[in-house]
Amino acid sequence: MIRISVEVETGVEDDVPLIAPPLMRRTVRALFQRAEVVPPKGASVLVDLSLVGEESMRGLNRDHRGVDEVTDVLAFPLMSPDELKTPSENAELAGDIVICPSYAARNADAYGHSSLFELAFLSGHGTLHLLGWDHQDEDALEEMNRQTFSALGVLLPPNAWGLKQS
């Protein structure tokens, strides 16, 4: 079983649509399934998904990447892709995904879609990092984006993405 916990930092609740956490969980689960990470009966893989304010995100980005600015999503894998495919019978933490909802809202405005869609998209992007993906160049980033859009296309019909008409 893949278990996903969602923690919302005090003070950011207003930036998180009520239906975002369940959709974010479904996005994470869908990408794990696409990667064929399906723990055997009795085993669990855990993913911690945290929604934090800009100050917390900036601190994490500074401490872990040496970049002293806010970012939209960070992922901290704790298992290798091979370990994910063969978890032990004990629950194992695959890693942490941290998202800044206020930054996500600005992305949503810039990209012309809803905050809900952006939060789901970022949870998918973070999940791909947990699964071993990286984007050192534009081609790799485009492929990660394609994978995330594909998963979201199954979970959400395009009219639910909140795309803004020009």
CATH of the domain at 116: 3.40.390.30
> Would you state the pLDDT for residue 164?
47
**Number of separate domains in the chain:** 1
Q: Assess whether pLDDT exceeds 90 at residue 36.
A: no
Answer yes or no: is 124 within a domain: yes
In a domain, 106, yes or no: yes
Radius of gyration of the chain (CA): 15
> Is residue 49 assigned to a domain?
yes
pLDDT, one tens digit per residue, over 84-127 is: 877 676 668 899 999 999 999 999 999 888 898 899 999 999 99
DSSP state of 13: G
- Whether residue 7 is contained in a domain is answered as yes
pTM of the model: 0.86
**3-state percent helix, strand, coil for the chain, nearest multiple of 5:** 50, 15, 35
CA separation (Å) from 100 to 53, 85, 91? Answer: 6, 29, 27
CB 126 within 8 A of CB 99: yes
**68 band by pLDDT with thresholds 50, 70 and 90:** very high
Q: What is the pLDDT of residue 157?
A: 53
The confidence score (pLDDT) of residue 92 equals 82
Collect all residues with Cβ–Cβ distance below 8 Å to 90 and sequence separation of at least 6: 43, 44
**Residue 27, burial from CB neighbour count under 10 angstroms (0-12, 13-18, 19+):** buried
110 within some domain: yes
User: Average pLDDT for residues 144-149, to the nearest whole number?
Assistant: 82
Secondary structure (DSSP) of 52-83: --HHHHHHHHHHHHS--S--SEEEEE-S-HHH
Q: What is the residue range of 79's domain?
A: 2-157
Mean pLDDT of the region 9-22: 88
Whether the predicted pLDDT of 160 surpasses 80: no
Q: Are 99 and 52 in contact (CB under 8 A)?
A: yes
Does residue 166 lie within any of the structural domains? no
Task: Over range 129-148, report the average pLDDT.
Answer: 85
In the prediction, which pLDDT does 13 show? Answer: 87
Does residue 165 form part of some domain?
Answer: no
- pLDDT value, residue 110: 93
94-98, 103-107, 136-140, 156-160: segment of lowest average pLDDT: 156-160
The answer to whether position 164 is within a domain reads no
**53 vs 140, more confident:** 53
Percent of the chain at pLDDT > 90 equals 43
